[in-house]
Structure 1
Amino acid sequence: MPVTRVPNIKKLRNDRKLTQKQLGEALGITNRTIIRWEQGEGEPGIADLLILARFFGVSIDQLIGELLPEDDFGALPKMSDLSGRDLDFWVARAQGHAPEVIDGEPVVLVPGGTPRAVLAYSSNWSYAGPIVSEYEMHFTPMPSGIPFDGVLRMEKGVIARPAAHPTAAWGRNHLEAAMRAYLIAAFGERIMT
């Protein structure tokens, strides 16, 4: 059976400024095995591919095939539909994590460890506070019955706007509005409002 080279291992390793030894230690694999994979002298089995993909935050298809551009998150959701744990999932992505949904719950996979829940950015000030501070969010309370973004809001809410960005977002509370505004600032016009 011919051996297939997996060139993206080396690219992803170099992008993260890891040596072959450091990668091997992080994954519990010998550095000689990493060298063989990168040089096409062997190939990882499916279990190893899964470990590598989780470690680098990419899919197995991306690991063995074409890598997406670094900032390509696939289809972005409609921001105004995001709330609760769905909103937390996308905030984690914007923060540079590679969350996955397991049993309906967003988690971040830790190499060699157990999955940890995505932080509750949309409901916990201790997690969202650094983002709110960094983006210098401004808040404006909004009474019910007022239109925002072409939608008549029949419930009270809050409008949040990062100081350095011209766009704002509505939310049912301060954190929901702030995290939606953060996503607009982080993803730009690619995210639908």
Structure 2
Amino acid sequence: MPAPQISSLRPVRFAVPEDEAGLAELDRATWSGLHSVQPRPQPPYAPFFDDRNRPADFLVAEAVTEDGERTAGYLRLGRPTPLACNAHVRQIQGLAVAGWARRHGIARALLRAACTEARRQGAGRLTLRVLGHNAPARALYASEGFTVEGILPGEFHLHGRYVDDVLMGRSLTV
């Protein structure tokens, strides 16, 4: 089946409970050892939304195709810790874009929406963690103003090799 043609993108929005099935399907379809430290999801699948992953934590990108609107990507935005002294920081805790929707600026739109939302929430910093071997994601984050702030060498053993955990961040006050 050929990839759907994107005619336009909808503004990034917050997820709603009705997005659960589509986001869960997208999450499973985009799983890759390039970016995930978790094993490939297997049935029976856990709910996508739960007490720790609420719809309000997710930004959703939708694309208009010849088949109508389709979920093209999501970003999870959260607090890295529950500590009051860390309340000025938000963290990107997941980003996925459907294979058919890549190279249309969807990840970039989600990142920019995350910066806007984090500022709206009063955050002055936005951070993320990315696997060292994920060069495309690292390049995207760098192009959006994120810099490497630390590296945990060999933090994960994935598929027979040790992989670095790269900590990146950016100021939201500039």
TM-score norm. by structure 2 comes to 0.24
More helix by share: 1
- Report 1 or 2 for greater relative contact order, CA contacts < 8 Å, sequence distance ≥ 6: 2
Which has the higher Rg, Structure 1 or Structure 2?
A: 1
More strand by share: 2
TM-score norm. by structure 1 comes to 0.23
